[in-house]
């Protein structure tokens, strides 16, 4: 069995856990910020929702130029956030 095939169940569990966590984010708490230098809760959740894209990009790309512009979606509700996650996972 190849390494990629053996990792699929682990990825399924990880994605399921992340989705459950994102589902529990109340819409009215997205702007909450624990500290002035911290990301807002909604920004952090958006960061988590887009993590699957990075893995795929890392595998498919021979080099990555982080200076290139990256259009980051700006979801305003938990439903929009979950849609982004579902698209990327």
Determine which of 32-36, 43-47, 56-60, 72-76 has the lowest per-residue pLDDT on average: 56-60
SS3 sequence of the chain: CCHHHHHHHHHHHHHHHHHHHHHCCCHHHCCCCCCCCCCCHHHHHHHHHCHHHHHHHHHHCCCCCCCCCCCCCCCCCHHHHHHHHHHHC
In total, the chain counts a number of residues equal to 89
Q: Looking at per-residue confidence, does 78 or 71 come out higher?
A: 78
C-alpha–C-alpha distance, residues 45 and 68, integer Å: 23
Per-residue pLDDT reduced to its tens digit, 49-65: 988 888 777 778 888 78
Per-residue pLDDT reduced to its tens digit, 2-29: 877 888 888 889 889 999 999 999 988 8
Answering whether pTM is above 0.85, one says no
């Amino acid at each position: 069995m190849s390494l990629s095939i053996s990792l699929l169940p682990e990825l399924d569990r990880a994605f399921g856990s992340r989705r459950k966590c994102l589902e529990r984010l109340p819409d009215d708490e997205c702007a909450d910020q624990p500290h002035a230098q911290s990301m807002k809760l909604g920004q952090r959740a958006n960061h988590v929702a887009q993590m699957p894209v990075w893995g795929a990009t890392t595998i498919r790309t021979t080099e990555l130029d982080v200076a290139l512009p990256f259009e980051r979606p700006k979801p305003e509700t938990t439903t929009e956030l979950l849609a982004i996650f579902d698209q990327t996972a």
